[in-house]
């Protein structure tokens, strides 16, 4: 009998290995970030910055704006002004959020946005700044809990306003148990029947519930989890055939087709373009 995976249940989501720093970005300085599993945010404490992925137009962020860069996106952050900018930089691992349909792009949450969660996001950023500015009183556990709030707020603020916060899928224990199982073992030949059995639901009820809250079928979500896991391995230097096999693809050709549908390019080309000069 299949059992739910142990180490990580998304309905009780916890961030670990979170990194923060306050960076003084002098005029003309550029931060180059290679693509990796971690997602980044850049919260402007003073001055002005630009951020881009080398493909689209740069995003300009000013005082208390927050730039969000999803995982697996190479990018650069620069100060094109004559005044030093101060930026809170956060790197948050997203291995367990691969199931989410987060755009692989550079986005900006404006301080002027009138979203009801904007005051909470600003307060959370202020708390992070206070914690890391005083090493004697700051602690990693607090920073990890604050990271969770930043993830939730930023996703909610850039997602559809029509979906109530309490109805977001990570509040559903059954769905997140199934998603956790796929995330923990992406190479397994999962079926909808197996996933439904994990959470003691009928196949039809589970598939309908999954579609209602996640907007797609369980197998489509499994495909995204697999491909993002494969992309992370490619960034670590794993050869394409090995990355494909580890993530459940018996054929490199099938993997290449699926990867192209998800990322828009072949695996080899995607890997070569993830460093922004």
Q: For the domain 10-158, what is the CATH code?
A: 2.60.120.280
**Chain region(s) in the chain for CATH 2.60.120.280:** 10-158
User: Which positions ≥6 away from 236 have C-beta within 8 Å?
Assistant: none
**pLDDT tens digits, one per residue of 145-193:** 898 888 888 877 876 554 444 445 666 888 888 988 998 898 899 999 9
Element (H, E) at 16: none
Query: What are the helix (H) ranges across 36-89?
Result: none
Q: How confident is the model at residue 107 (pLDDT cuts 50, 70, 90)?
A: very high
The count of residues in the chain is: 277
Instruction: Write out the two tokens for 137.
Output: 């009183």
Average pLDDT, integer, range 233-241: 91
Name 25's bridge partners. 85
**Chain region(s) in the chain for CATH 1.10.10.60:** 169-272
CA distances, 232 to each of 31, 36, 48, 240 (Å)? 21, 7, 31, 11
Average pLDDT, integer, range 5-23: 63
Angle at 157 between CA 98 and CA 161, to 5 degrees: 105
Q: How confident is the model at residue 201 (pLDDT cuts 50, 70, 90)?
A: very high
Q: What is the pTM of this model?
A: 0.77
**pLDDT tens digits, one per residue of 33-67:** 888 767 899 999 999 999 999 888 999 999 999 99
Q: Quick one: fold of 169-272?
A: Arc Repressor Mutant, subunit A (1.10.10)
Angle at 38 between CA 36 and CA 44, to 5 degrees: 115
């Amino acid at each position: 009998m299949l059992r739910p995976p142990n180490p990580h249940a998304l309905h009780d989501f916890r961030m670990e290995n979170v990194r923060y720093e306050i960076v003084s970005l002098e005029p003309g300085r550029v931060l180059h970030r290679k693509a990796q599993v971690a997602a980044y945010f850049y919260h402007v404490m003073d001055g002005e910055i630009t951020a881009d992925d080398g493909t689209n137009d740069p995003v300009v962020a000013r005082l208390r704006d927050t730039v969000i860069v999803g995982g697996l996106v190479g990018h650069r952050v620069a100060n094109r002004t004559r005044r030093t900018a101060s930026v809170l930089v956060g790197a948050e691992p997203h291995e367990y959020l691969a199931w989410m349909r987060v755009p692989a792009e550079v986005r900006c949450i404006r301080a002027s946005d009138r979203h009801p969660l904007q005051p909470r996001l600003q307060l959370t950023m202020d708390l992070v700044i206070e914690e890391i500015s005083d090493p004697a009183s700051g602690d990693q556990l607090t920073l990890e809990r604050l990271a969770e709030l930043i993830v939730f707020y930023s996703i909610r603020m850039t997602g559809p306003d029509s979906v109530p916060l309490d109805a977001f899928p990570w509040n559903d224990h059954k769905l997140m148990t199934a998603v956790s199982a796929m995330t923990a073992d992406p190479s397994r030949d999962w079926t909808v029947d197996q996933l439904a059995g994990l959470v003691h639901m009928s196949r039809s009820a589970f598939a309908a519930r999954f579609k209602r809250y996640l907007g797609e079928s369980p197998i489509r979500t499994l495909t995204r989890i697999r491909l993002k896991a494969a992309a992370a391995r490619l960034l670590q230097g794993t050869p394409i055939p090995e990355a494909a096999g580890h993530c459940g693809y018996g054929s490199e050709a099938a993997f290449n087709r699926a990867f192209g549908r998800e990322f828009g390019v072949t695996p080899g080309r995607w890997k070569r373009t993830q460093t922004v000069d």
